[in-house]
Amino acid sequence: MSEKKRKNPFVEGPVAPDFIASVIAKHHTQADAGAHSIFLGQVRADVVEGKSVRAIEYTAYPEMALEAYHEIREAIFAKYPLHCLHVHHSLGTIAVGEICLFVMTTSRHRAAAIEACTEIVERIKKELPVWGKEILEDDAHQWKTNQ
């Protein structure tokens, strides 16, 4: 497997908007790319048993999470004609309104970019061993379940 495919998608803290903008900006020179699809996931202020969520604390078992991520990444590249794929997933405490997941796919045509982006987001939510603990306004917590 190439070094490029072994990038670590995990970042400590929120995914910064300036970082996202820089990733997008770097792709303007790809003359054979016709489409980019972008997904941004951010922490919502859900209400749980009458209390607002103020943050989510994301944790993972690093080796297991990296292996699962690379399996998903390889499957997406095998299925779709992508030029590139960026995934950045937060670990640590992410406040309401902050970005916790950034996914960008680039392809020659929009259908492949959009479908690949949608599929990788769904697979990350279902298959990646990352756990989110919702921290409530009174500092109580509960483990998040993906819908």
Reference 59, options 15, 93, 100, 98; nearest CA is 93
Confidence of residue 143 (pLDDT cuts 50, 70, 90): confident
Q: What is the pTM of this model?
A: 0.92
Structural domain includes residue 1: no
Residue type, 99: I
Q: Which helix (H) or strand (E) holds 64?
A: helix 62-79
Structural domain includes residue 77: yes
Reference 42, options 14, 69, 11, 12; nearest CA is 14
Q: How many domains does the chain have?
A: 1
Cβ burial of 144 (10 Å; 0-12, 13-18, 19+) is: middle
Cα angle for residues 93, 59, 52 (degrees, 5° grid): 45
Structural domain includes residue 134: yes
Torsion of CA 95, 113, 8, 23, to 10 degrees: -70
Which pLDDT score, from 0 to 100, does residue 147 have? 60
The upper half-sphere exposure of residue 113, i.e. CA atoms within 13 Å in the direction of its Cβ, equals: 18
Tens of pLDDT, residue by residue over 52-84, are 999 999 999 989 999 999 999 999 999 999 999
Give the range of the structural domain holding residue 117, as residue numbers without chain letter: 7-143
Tens of pLDDT, residue by residue over 22-54, are 999 998 888 888 999 999 999 999 998 899 999
Structural domain includes residue 95: yes
Structural domain includes residue 127: yes
108: tokens are 């020659």
Structural domain includes residue 32: yes
The answer to whether the beta carbons of residues 89 and 11 sit under 8 Å apart is: yes
Across 74-101, average pLDDT: 97
Structural domain includes residue 133: yes
Reference 124, options 57, 73, 61, 59; nearest CA is 73
Give me the CATH number covering residue 132: 3.90.1170.40
Cβ burial of 38 (10 Å; 0-12, 13-18, 19+) is: middle
Structural domain includes residue 2: no
